Amino acid sequence: MKLFGLPGKKFASLVSIVVLGSMLLAACGSSNTGSSTTINGNGGKGCKKIGVLLPETASSARWDSKDKPLLTADIQATLPGATVDYQNAGGDAGTQQTQADGALTKGDCILVVAASDSVKAARIVANAKADNIPVIAYDRLIQSNDLAYYVSFDNVMVGALQGQYIADNYKNFVKSGVGNVAMINGSKTDNNAILFAQGAHSKLDPLFSSGALKNVYEQYTPNWDNPTAQTEMEAALTANANKIQIAYVANDGMAATVIAALKAQKLNGKVLVTGQDATVAGLQNILLGDQSMTVFKDISLEAQGTANVVAAISNGTSTASLTNGATTKTQSGGNIPSVLETPQSIDKTNVQKVVTAGFVTITDLCAGLPSGAGGVCP
């Protein structure tokens, strides 16, 4: 038989060649189609499409208002020609996994991930590794030994600053006898919350052991949920007949709802309340006297540190000067090269530092506050 002027055998051979060629082209064409196909991300070298995945927006205003614009601007300035593919998981680990898979499908070749769930996000790292794409854990450590880098603050120090503030100031709130402490920790699925608690306990446990203070209530708060923190504080007050002098609270968002629980009992300003993030609302609570302190983490340093690592990976240059030999241990004993910035303790005596750093403006800080609030507002 002849088709198109070719003997049958030759035609069959030609068909085989065409089919094989089509398969090879399809395989090559799949190089940018996601983690379910074969991708060679080249270890991020030459990468200009950066995926940035942040965890949520409900518990802290920082993620969309600070981290997103800073990361976008710094990555593009430090790595000319780079584009940033940004997504927020809305507090859902499953959503973040889907977003990460989609980022790989779209051809993002370096991922910057602030994990919604520090353990579950290990799957994001595994999928990216299979495609030779590096993952930088941003702010929150991901429990994977295959992480490329970790950029954050010294989070044990964050908790230690909170605990030290209590150690230095509790006598102003405990007039006699033992001071009762309620500890409202962050989400246990966020490794940082565990580190904050560790740091706080390093300063508070000696006081608990001596009998100067008593830990009467301690809870981790799922998803850093602010309303849940209020419920927890209400439970602590009820269980202790309102006799709580110190509320260790892991961040400003939860501190605001803890203060709401205290206001309902006319205890605001009478209880030492800690916080973290130096949010406008948190700083205003400090100026009003309802919150005692916060921890300022200059996110511009964290974002620029991340941008520097992204650029080094893309350019194929050394990161030794960026990490300075620092590493952070995962739960399974991995040592992740790390860039760790230094946090600062802020109270009414030095709140101006946050303004000077350009983190907030005096206009935003004093909006809605009475003139002269905290000796700062005009």
Per residue in 240-297, pLDDT tens?
999 999 999 999 999 999 999 999 999 999 999 999 999 999 999 999 999 999 999 9
Q: Which domain holds residue 119?
A: 42-153+298-342
Residue type at 349 in one-letter notation: T
Residues 172, 305 share a domain: no
Same domain, 195 and 240: yes
Cβ-count burial 334-373 (b if 16+ within 10 Å, e if not): eebbbbbbebbbbebeebeebbeeebbeeeebbeeeeeeb
Note whether 130 and 220 are same-domain residues.
no
Model pLDDT, residue 29: 40
Asked whether residue 217 is assigned to any structural domain, the reply reads yes
Counting the structural domains of the chain, the total is: 2
Q: In terms of domains, do 79 and 204 share one?
A: no
Here the tokens at position 96 are 């973040």
Query: Does one domain contain both 310 and 169?
Result: no
Q: Is 281 among the domain residues?
A: yes
User: In the prediction, which pLDDT does 58 show?
Assistant: 86
The answer to the question of residue 16 being in a domain is no
Residues 59 and 97 in one domain: yes
Q: Kindly list the distances between the CA atom of residue 94 and the CA atoms of 54, 115, 124, 147, 192, in Å, as whole numbers in the listed order.
A: 13, 11, 11, 19, 20
Q: What is the pLDDT of residue 60?
A: 83
pLDDT tens per residue, range 189-224: 999 999 999 999 999 999 999 999 999 999 999 999
- Contacts with 250 (C-beta within 8 Å, 6 or more apart), sequence order: 162, 184, 185, 186, 193, 196, 197, 221, 224, 274, 275, 276
Burial class of residue 48 in the structure, from the number of CB atoms within 10 Å of its CB (0-12 exposed, 13-18 middle, 19+ buried): middle
Instruction: Burial-class residue 7 by CB neighbours within 10 Å (0-12, 13-18, 19+).
Output: exposed
**SS3 assignment for 274-301:** CCCCCCHHHHHHHHHCCCCCEEECCHHH
- Do 179 and 246 form a contact (C-beta atoms < 8 A)? yes
In a domain, residue 35? The reply is no
- Check: pTM over 0.85? Answer yes or no: no
| Residue 320 lies inside a defined structural domain of this protein | yes
Is 254 found in the same domain as 142?
no
Mean pLDDT of 313-341: 96
* Span 107-132, pLDDT tens digits: 999 999 999 999 999 999 999 999 99
Residue 18 lies in a domain: no
Place of tokens 């898979």: 101
Residue 177: which of 245, 235, 273, 271 has the closest Cα?
245
Per-residue model confidence (pLDDT) at position 23: 45
- Least confident range from 5-14, 67-76, 195-204: namely 5-14
Give 88's strand partners: 54
CATH classification of the domain holding 331: 3.40.50.2300
pLDDT tens for each residue of 26-49: 444 433 334 444 467 899 999 999
The pLDDT, as a whole number, for residue 61 is 81
Instruction: Tell me how far apart the alpha carbons of residues 26 and 21 are, in angstroms, rounded to a whole number.
Output: 9
Dihedral sign (CA 196, 197, 201, 202): negative
Residue 361 sits in the same domain as residue 232 = yes
- Does 14 map to a domain? no
d(CA 237, CA 231): 10
| pLDDT reading at 355 higher than 60 | yes
Q: Residue 173: how many CB atoms within 10 A of its CB?
A: 18
Shared domain check, 78 and 177: no
Same domain, 283 and 304: no
**Shared domain check, 234 and 116:** no
Best CA proximity match to 376, nearest among 356, 351, 359, 340: 351
* Strands laid side by side in the 246-249 sheet: 213-220, 179-185, 246-249, 272-273
What's the mean per-residue pLDDT of the chain? 91
188: in domain = yes
The dihedrals phi and psi of 94, each to the nearest 5 degrees, come to -65, -40
Same domain, 282 and 307: no
